[in-house]
């Protein structure tokens, strides 16, 4: 298992034993303990492409995660594209470029899998910080709009 | 999977594996029929061999480090080929052996999702066995070994629970808890073996590993996720499995997992020959740390489900107090939580093999004392199983000085293995030259 010296941040693929650490980061960020949610999400990515989704570690401690996959044919967009579904960084490690490192690692993985573009969905008004993070990472708004209505 | 080449075995061998699957994995068509329901958009399972292209061309460890990897069997020394063939055979035997074990109790899954995850995992194990056959059959081993690839394939297909190469695959499952704990503990050893063989000096073996490892990640989740759920249900006193039973099933499998790494004093020659990057003791140590982490996470989950008002930090603190000080807090003490058995407990390989050591690592003086200890810490159904009967027979001989512990290690499995086919046996010859006969005779 990849480890990093104290103070150094390393990346490695997420595994099933990271579920608890990811729950802990999410709980710090959202205030909710959601084990079932992370069991479901992480096992989904482990099933689909276990080498792509990443965690950032300091020593053996997981301090961030980014989950995503390559899809083709989504929304009628035929070319394979990387999709970043979720990102979380331990608040104690924010400001140390953990998110940036995770993004770089994921971009390399997407590229190796033949993705021509990488997409994600962010709420521009409700998630300003996240929006800024992706903008700084070179992401631009596209004309594709999410449409929604109540049912 | 990018940059992966897929291929199939020559027809008669492919057909043999298909026939084997029809016998030991009869629910395979059910899996395919329900694939979209349980694994929407996932690539459908295929019975074929995958090879990862573009891997390292130079030997990565040992005395030949930096030299070109071997592409053909006849480039290797007989000694190297012998080590490699033993590893391939053991690997193939584990893949098929686990299917035979899982099949026994698959139908007893309390939840359909868990059942289909295990079923998919079994189909992937069949592919892994197929992959190892591909390694055996794609090359000509005649220059370096007396064993023919074809004979090895037939021999492996003939193995049953009780005659497999490694002990963990000769133990019957008693309930669906076995299916799940096996995935979490024994497939984890598999992950180590595959990860180590990714560096193999024999390139076709190295290339076979990444696609298998990818599937192994799912197998580990197939084990760990249901256990996490069960532990949380147990904390609320609902659900299928209590902590006490789960502990007993862990006690059943953890020693077999450690045995799979081989003798703690060995593995050095594999490293020297460039077949694996770690010796047995190093790999077993890392494995133990991982399982310890799993156990700690499960205990934390138990406490959080049992005491929902505790914050994560408070639950961590409490866990530490219970485990390290042995305190009971609000009715939960060490006995209500999970733990790893001592590494020397109930071992059949390595320096602690056939020593009477209890779950805490303490020596038990008498055979009867050891028998009753094992009975109290192992699942009831397993304590009377044929594997245990054989174990105690041998253990008795060791205690009475009739067999040395070091020799006992090599006695099990006391094989009902069929090499070739005896005219009076009921064994089917799996690899046949003509379209299927009713049986081998
Ligand atoms: Fe496997
Ligand atoms: Fe497996």
DSSP B107: G
Q: How far apart are CA B359 and CA B252, in angstroms?
A: 11
How many domains, chain B? 1
Partner residue facing A27 (CB), from B220, B293, B312: B312
CA of A105 to nearest chain B CA: how many angstroms apart? 17
Q: Determine the residue of chain A that is closest to B310 in CA distance.
A: A33
**pLDDT at residue B228, as a whole number:** 98
Please provide the CATH number assigned to the domain covering A9-116.
Answer: 3.40.630.30
Q: Where are the domains of chain A?
A: 9-116
Asked if residue B154 belongs to a domain, the reply is yes
A51 to B294: CB separation less than 8 angstroms, yes or no: no
B217 to A15: CB separation less than 8 angstroms, yes or no: yes
User: Could you give the residue ranges of the DSSP H alpha helices within B262-366?
Assistant: 268-272, 280-306, 312-320
CA of B183 to the centre of ligand 2 (A): 7
Contacts of B300 in chain A (CB under 8 A): 20
pLDDT tens per residue across span B288-342: 999 999 999 999 999 999 999 999 999 999 999 999 999 999 999 999 999 999 9
DSSP A89: E
CB B51 within 8 A of CB B4: yes
| pLDDT(B189) > 90 | yes
ipTM of the complex in this document? 0.93
pTM value is 0.93
Question: Which sign does the torsion angle of CA B381, B387, B390, B393 carry?
Answer: negative
Partner residue facing A16 (CB), from B2, B39, B224: B224
- Among candidate residues A111, A112, A68, A47, the one with its CA nearest the CA of residue B53: A112
Asked if residue B378 belongs to a domain, the reply is yes
B56: domain CATH number is 1.10.620.20
Chain A and chain B share a number of CB contacts under 8 A equal to: 55
**pLDDT at residue B414, as a whole number:** 47
A16 to B221: CB separation less than 8 angstroms, yes or no: yes
CB B297 within 8 A of CB B323: no
Domain holding B286, by residue range, is 4-426
Contacts of A1 in chain B (CB under 8 A): 286, 290
pLDDT tens per residue across span B61-80: 999 999 999 999 999 999 99
B214 to A113: CB separation less than 8 angstroms, yes or no: no
Asked if residue B433 belongs to a domain, the reply is no
A16 to B220: CB separation less than 8 angstroms, yes or no: yes
Q: How far apart are CA A125 and CA A143, in angstroms?
A: 17
| pLDDT(A67) > 90 | yes
Contacts of A27 in chain B (CB under 8 A): 312
Asked if residue B437 belongs to a domain, the reply is no
**pLDDT at residue A74, as a whole number:** 72
Backbone angles phi, psi at B28, to 5 degrees: -55, -45
The terminus-to-terminus CA distance of chain B in angstroms comes to 43
What is the DSSP annotation of A28-83?
A: HHHS---HHHHHHHHHHHHHH-TTTSEEEEETTEEEEEEEEEEESSBTTB-S-EEE
- Among candidate residues B167, B297, B171, the one with its CA nearest the CA of residue B224: B297
pLDDT tens per residue across span B392-416: 999 999 999 999 998 888 876 544 4
């Amino acid at each position: 298992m990849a480890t990093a010296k104290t103070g150094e941040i390393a990346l490695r693929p997420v595994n099933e034993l990271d579920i608890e650490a990811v729950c802990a980061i999410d709980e710090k960020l959202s205030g909710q303990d959601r084990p079932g949610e992370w069991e479901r999400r992480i096992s989904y990515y482990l099933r689909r492409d276990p080498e792509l989704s990443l965690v950032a570690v300091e020593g053996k401690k997981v301090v961030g995660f980014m989950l995503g996959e390559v899809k083709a044919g989504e929304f009628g967009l035929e070319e394979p594209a990387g999709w970043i579904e979720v990102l979380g960084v331990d608040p104690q490690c924010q400001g140390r470029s953990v998110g940036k490192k995770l993004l770089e690692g994921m971009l390399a993985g997407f590229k190796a899998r033949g993705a021509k573009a990488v997409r994600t969905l962010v709420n521009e008004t409700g998630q300003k910080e996240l929006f800024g993070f992706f903008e700084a990472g070179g992401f631009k708004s596209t004309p594709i709009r999410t449409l929604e209505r109540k049912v | 999977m990018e940059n992966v080449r897929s291929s199939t075995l020559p027809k008669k061998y492919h057909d043999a594996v298909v026939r084997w699957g029809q016998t030991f994995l009869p629910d395979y068509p059910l899996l395919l029929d329900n694939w979209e329901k349980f694994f929407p958009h996932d690539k459908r399972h295929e019975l074929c061999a995958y090879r990862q292209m573009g891997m390292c061309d130079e030997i990565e460890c040992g005395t030949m480090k930096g030299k070109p990897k071997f592409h053909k069997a006849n480039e290797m020394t007989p000694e190297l080929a012998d080590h490699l063939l033993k590893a391939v055979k053991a690997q193939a035997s584990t893949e098929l052996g686990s299917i035979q074990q899982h099949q026994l109790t698959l139908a007893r899954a309390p939840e359909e999702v868990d059942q289909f995850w295990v079923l998919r995992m079994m189909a992937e194990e069949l592919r892994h066995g197929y992959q190892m056959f591909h390694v055996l059959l794609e090359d000509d081993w005649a220059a370096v070994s007396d064993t023919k690839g074809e004979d090895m394939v037939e021999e492996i297909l003939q193995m049953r629970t009780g005659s497999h190469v490694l002990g963990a695959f000769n133990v019957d499952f008693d309930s669906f808890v076995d299916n799940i704990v096996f995935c979490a503990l024994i497939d984890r050893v598999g992950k180590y073996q595959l990860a180590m063989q990714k560096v193999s000096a024999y390139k076709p073996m190295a290339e076979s590993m990444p696609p298998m490892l990818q599937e192994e990640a799912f197998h580990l989740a197939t084990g760990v996720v249901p256990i996490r759920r069960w532990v949380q249900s147990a904390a609320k006193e609902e659900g299928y499995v209590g902590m006490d039973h789960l502990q007993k099933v862990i006690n059943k499998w953890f020693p077999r997992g450690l045995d799979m790494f081989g003798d703690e004093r060995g593995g050095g020659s594999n490293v020297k020959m460039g077949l694996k990057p770690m010796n047995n003791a190093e790999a077993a140590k890392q494995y133990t740390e991982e399982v310890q982490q799993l156990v700690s996470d499960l205990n934390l989950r138990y406490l959080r489900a049992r005491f929902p008002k505790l914050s994560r930090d408070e639950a961590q603190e409490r866990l530490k107090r219970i485990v390290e000080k042995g305190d009971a807090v609000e009715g939960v003490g060490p006995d209500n939580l999970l733990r790893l058995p001592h590494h020397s407990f109930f071992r059949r390989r390595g320096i602690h093999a056939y020593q009477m050591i209890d779950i805490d690592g303490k020596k038990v003086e008498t055979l009867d004392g050891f028998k009753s200890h094992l009975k109290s810490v192992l699942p009831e159904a397993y304590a009377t199983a044929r594997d245990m009967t054989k174990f105690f027979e041998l253990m008795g001989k060791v205690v009475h000085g009739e067999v040395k512990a070091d020799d006992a290690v090599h006695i099990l499995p006391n094989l009902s293995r069929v090499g070739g086919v005896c005219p009076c046996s009921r064994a089917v010859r799996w690899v046949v030259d003509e379209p299927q006969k009713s049986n081998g005779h």
